[in-house]
Amino acid sequence: MNKETRHLAMAGVVLGLFIAGIVVARQVLTPDSFGQFGYYRGDNVAEWDGLPTTFAETAQCSGCHSSNYTKWSGSAHAGVSCENCHGPVLPVLRSRSRCGS
């Protein structure tokens, strides 16, 4: 084996190791659920689904706070949701037995 061939062979081995490293890293680092539904981690769906809902919606406030709702509807803040100012209300509503669930 002359010098050039030896250098080429070494370069080939280095390239081979590099590619093998990428293949192994891809196997090890790719989450199991990747590709389950598409080009993203499938578990992500369940994780978001597991987050507690904290915001109700403005329509729900009107049932109990009709005067505030009417005042708000005609105000300059009509485009701002009630909970933007008052914070998430759903946990409060759920914790009140008199309001049902």
Binding site for ligand HEC (CB under 6 A): 56, 58, 60-61, 63-65, 68-69, 72, 77, 80, 82-86, 89, 93, 99
Cβ nearer to ligand HEC, comparing 34 with 69: 69
Q: With beta carbons less than 8 A apart as the criterion, state whether 86 and 55 touch.
A: no
Q: How far apart are CB 63 and ligand HEC at their closest, in Å?
A: 5
Cβ nearer to ligand HEC, comparing 44 with 83: 83
Q: How far apart are CB 90 and ligand HEC at their closest, in Å?
A: 7
Q: How far apart are CA 90 and CA 53, in angstroms?
A: 7
The alpha-helical segments, DSSP class H, found in 3-97 are: 3-29, 43-49, 58-64, 66-73, 82-86, 90-95
Cβ nearer to ligand HEC, comparing 41 with 65: 65
Q: How far apart are CA 90 and CA 60, in angstroms?
A: 10
